[in-house]
Chains A and B, each alone.
Chain A
Amino acid sequence: MKNLQEIKCVVWDLDGPLWDGVLLEGDPVWLRPGIKTIIQTLDHRGILHSIASKNDREAAMEKLRDFELDEYFLYPEINWNAKSSSIARIRANLNIQMDSILFIDDEAYERDEVQSEHPEVMCVDARDYNALLVHPRLNPRFITEDSAKRRQIYREQVERTLAAEEFVGPRNEFLASLQMRFTIGKAMENDLRRAEELTLRTNQLNTTGRTYDYDELKDLIHSPRHELYVCELQDKYGYHGKIGLALLEVARDCHHLRLFLMSCRVMSLGVGTVLLSYIMRRAKQNGRILRADFRHTGRNRAMYITFKMSYFKETRSNPVGDSVLENDLSVIPPYPPYLELSVPDYIGD
């Protein structure tokens, strides 16, 4: 249990787990007792919901609207495909890892099918739905402002994804059309809960995977040897939230990045190196070299690629996969042209 991820999304079958009765057989369907409360409570905890149901999409969505539940489900997969492929699509759409998905279905063969294709998915029998609210993996350590709004943030992302699919033109124009505004600032106390959450939840775009708790972060923002940066992103579809963190240890000769992470939900928006570029400029302006800790966690290859492609080189490593990367700052990636950038002390290009 210690190493298992918190559940980020519950994927529901409809006939059986969500409601009693089979919709397409013309049964009157009734929500199972307490279901609405369970869905709303999990939603408030920042846990997302989706659907993998073999059903008629129109009929199912209409029934969900009747129950006033439709708004809770993101990227519903209501079709006649294997549920394992529905879950794969949901995972890709939400850009989360398979081991943060819980699948609930009343049919053993459906659960078995999903489990055999996706061994990391947690499969639950619909019979046990009342135990969901007390399951440790469905009780996140903290509920921050950002987590209670998580569904809204993802819903805005659905709109962005649709816009991207419908957009006719090159990717650069699409990114410009988003009117992104990227803000970098020194972390304050009211950022720390979200910062802590980011260290716990961000796996792919994370240099070390080391987690920091509120108290550690509070000490760091008051430490004269450290600088903690947080970045926020918004665009015309809404506010993405605080989506990146950089912990810098400043010494006389060197700036050392102890932690660098970006929420993978913004990975495809090409903003991964904006914060890194800022850190590089600061180091150069202060005449320091820049080093960064890196630990291969098995999930963070994308971050390794990002650093290596930003001119970082490996200087030393140990057998367990910890290394120190170094950048001589001779080449600093330019800021992307398609966003408006706000930084604490602006350093020109």
Chain B
Amino acid sequence: MAEVDQIREFVKSNLVVLDEEVPFGDGDNIFELGLVDSFFAIQLVLFIEEEFGIDVTDSDLDITNFSSVKRIAELVKRKRGR
């Protein structure tokens, strides 16, 4: 699975909204839309560190790197040196 697909799956399985099916695009801001919560943010960082073998540093921890599936995938690619 491509990185972006794995990330999308992870986000989908951790949504906190009450609607049945909330479609969201890879470019949508998942935090602003209230789709995910604070616990998810912590889980997400741990997930990408373990899954992709990268180290998320304090300066990486900027919301702009995590606001959407696309941005997260870009961060992972950058950290992996691709």
Contact = CB atoms under 8 A, between A and B. Distances in A.
Interface of A: 170-173, 175-176, 267-273, 276, 302, 304-306, 308-311, 313-314, 331, 333-334, 336-338
Contact of A337 (B18, B31, B62, B63): B18
Interface residues of B, number: 21
B5 to A, nearest CB: 19
A164 to B, nearest CB: 13
A172 B41 contact: no
Given A306-B41, A309-B31, 8 more contacts: A171-B16, A269-B39, A272-B39, A302-B42, A308-B58, A309-B41, A336-B34, A336-B37
A171 B15 CA distance: 7
A336 B16 contact: yes
7 contacts: A172-B15, A267-B39, A270-B37, A272-B38, A304-B58, A305-B61, A313-B62
Contact of A304 (B14, B16, B37, B61): B61
B32 interface: yes
Contacts of B15: 170-172
Interface in B17-71: 17-18, 31-32, 34, 37-42, 45, 58, 61-63, 66
A313 B58 CA distance: 10
A331 B32 contact: yes
Most buried by A among B32, B37, B45: B37
